[in-house]
Every structure is written in C-alpha cells, then in structure tokens.
Amino acid sequence: MTRTLFQNANVVFPDQVTQGNVLVEDGVIIDVAASPSTNAQTVVDCQGLHLMPGVVDDQVHFRDPGLTHKEDLSTASHACAAGGVTSFLEMPNTKPPAVTVEGVKQKDALGAEKSLVNYGFYIGATPDNVDELKKATDVPGIKIFIGSSTGNLLVDQQEALERIFSETTLPICAHCEDEQTVRENAQRLAGTNDIADHSRIRDEKAAVIATKRAIDLAQRHKHRFHVLHVSTAAELPLLREAGPYLTAEICLHHIFFNVDDYPRLGSRIQMNPSIKTAKDNERLYQGLLDGTIQVIATDHAPHTLEEKAKPYPESPSGLPAVENSLALMLNQVNQGKCSLTQVASWMSDAPARVWGIVGKGRIAKGYDADLVLVDMQQSRTIEDQNQHTKTKWSPWSGTELTGWPVATYVGGHRVFDQHQGFDESFRGKKLRFDHSRGGFYQTTDGIGPTQ
C-alpha cells in the first residue's frame, strides 16, 4: 500500500476551491478532507499552490505511427506531462490510419510502450468500414472527417454517413467543414499564395453547412455526437438548439488567434478549420461561459518549421499546443475572465463525461489520482526552444503567462516536476470507457469513481 498526502493545497473541486488535504492510496483518491497529520509514505507540501484534476485532452494528433519525424507518443506525452495533461484521446489519421479494431490495438501497444500519461485512441470511419466500427468497443468513440482529410478517411457521401449514424452505437465526433464548399472556394482563389486566403477558402459557410448536416444526422438517429473545434460564432445557435445528443468543444487557437494575426504569425496559425475573426473569438469565448460549448481541447497537430515555411498552399495545417493549454487558461483566470472551477470543468470533467472515461476528470473520493499542482503566481514566457514537443515551436512563443503547472501526477505517481524533470521509468495506462453511463448529460455528478 502506497500513500501520498497532498497537504495544505487549494483544492479545485467541481463547485468550489477550498484549502485542504487530499489523500491518495495506490493511485486512487481515498479522502478529500484528510487530517494534515495522516500517515503517508510521501507528503507533498502544497502551501500556496492549487491542486487541480489533470487535463483530459480529447483531440490530439500525435503522429505515431508513420509521421514520427513531427511527433511521437514519447515526445508528445512528455509535452502533456509538462503541461498538466494526464490523459489524451488521439485521432485516427496516422499512417496507417486506425480504421480497424486491430489498428487501434496496435496504437494501444505503442501507448503502453511510450506514453508517460494515460491514453485512448479513436477508431476512424471510412465510407465502407461500418462493420469494423460496430465491432469496436474499448475505444472513446468514432471519428468522422466530414471534410479535410487524406486517403480514405474523408466521408462526405450522405449514404455512408447515414449508415454510420444508424448502425453504430459508439459516440461520434467529426471534423465539420463542407468539402464541396471548400473545393469551390479553392477553385475561385486558385493560384493564391496569400496565407490569409486560407480563411476565405475554409470559410464560415463551410463550417456551418457541415455542422448543420452532422447535427441533423445525430438528431434523426438519436446518436450521441460531439462537434470538434467549433470555429465560428455562426455555429453557436445550431449548438444551442440541438438537444440532448449534442456536445461541442472549442480549441484555444480559435479563441486566441484571428485573421488579423496572419501578418505576424503566417502559417504558424494555419489550421483546419481555419482561424476566423476577432468577433468570432469573442462570441466563442462567450459560448464557453454560457454553457453552449462544454469542452476545451487543443487539436495538437505539429508539423516541422521547415514544412510550415513552405509557401501557401503547400504549407500544412496544424499547430502544437498540449504543453501550454492549461497555462493559457490559468492566465485567463488571473485576468478575471473565468474561474478555476470553470477551467477544471472545460478541460477535465466535461471531456471525461463526454467520452465515458471512468474515474477521471475531478478531485473526488474514488477517482484516479490524476492531478496537477499549479502555481497561480508564477510567470513564464513561452519560447520555441523550451518546448518539449518534437517540433520545438509554439504559435504562442514570446507570450508571457501567469499561472503554470509545476508538477503532474498520473495515478498518484509524479511524472513531471518543473525542477526535477520527468520520471522516464513511468508509463501511463490505457483509459477505460463506459458508454453505458450515457455521456455528458447523464453524468452531472461525474463519470467515476473507479470500480
């Protein structure tokens, strides 16, 4: 029996922040109001620090296997640990893509071998793999690329989409950009080398058409559906009216960057869906605050700077973000724009509930001890050369933030400390999913505890 006592912490619970002592035994939280003199092999002095649930990032692209010159599960999970991310869900568009049960199992094996933090892998939909999707069980859900993909992962034919929504039971998420609209815009702007045209090609109309289409499928088939990386204010009314089968998320680049930043940052902020306007930034943030959007994710998708330096449109879309995501939001707390309990909800509790991740997402008795210690007074500047992601750059390079994770615990084990570095001997575990619990709207009291 191994016990760790987090002593004198400002504990971030779902509804409040209070000072107290959290006791962990064999990787599970057993007391959230322990005596400060409780016997434990390890006592962590948390005076002046906040103890938060570890971040659950439900949308990352870690490039392993097949594209490991950009990232792999080892480098990416180090970036996660440094940023307070204790669990991630990775997308299927690797090489080969994870579109079979066996393909997902192969990625699980890579996670067990390489990852410092906990992991799960989506199974990808193709126009003709419904039978394989129906066999998948121990996965977070199904990912559909309704727009913007390569190989056989693009699914934009209505007949194929109807089959996926009607014949499968796993929750579904999708990249929503209308492929026809994107192609028409690209043809109209053919020959452009202006990076700003990326937001004209992947415009508001493309996002709205695809999101509306996906919501219609979810409503008609009564199928749980999660809208990934909402990028436009025009999608918000669709989300508000969608009913109990729908959840949605926002990515940090869609609230912190806009088209006015292209002259300064160029292809560093080239993303799919594209960056939109300052007004979209403002209204999307409000969508978080009013509950229209439930989740914050990163869509971490690194490319090398050499690749990014290619002239548009040869430059690829995607940016790295996992090691700075929590700090970006802690800085927002310090600026009075949101609260720590809201950040914990958006980045930990809500994604765990959406995907039925057992025992994750909040600090409560019986939950796994995936925790992050935060210093809300510490100020640091993001710098390319200090990034742990393999590509060694960040679109936020040069940005000073106040509020940083200083130590990260996975299953009660410290995997990262800002002074002592990483525990290279540790490996995270495959996440457990229980979709019978009904998803976000059926788990208002949380998705745990571990049974």
Q: Which are the catalytic amino acids?
A: 299
What is each CA distance from 290 to 131, 176, 287, 311, 361, in whole angstroms? Answer: 39, 22, 5, 40, 20
Q: Scanning the structure block, which residue is given the tokens 């995270």?
A: 428
Across-strand partners of 407? 373, 417
* Distance between CA atoms of residues 7 and 422, nearest Å: 22
Question: How does DSSP classify residue 349?
Answer: I
**Rounded-to-integer distance, Cα 300 and Cα 326, Å:** 13
For tokens 């066996």, the residue is 102
Buried b (16+ CB within 10 A) or exposed e, 244-279: ebbbbbbbbbbbbbbbebbeebbbbbbbbbbbbeee
The two tokens of residue 255 are 């609230």
Residues 6+ apart with CB under 8 A from 275: 198, 199, 231, 253, 254, 257, 258, 259, 261, 262, 269
What does the alpha-carbon distance between residue 157 and residue 12 come to, in Å, rounded to a whole number?
45
Give the other-Cβ count within 10 Å of 370's Cβ.
Answer: 32
Give me 139's structure tokens.
């996965």
One DSSP character per residue, 152-168 reads T-B---HHHHHHHHHH-
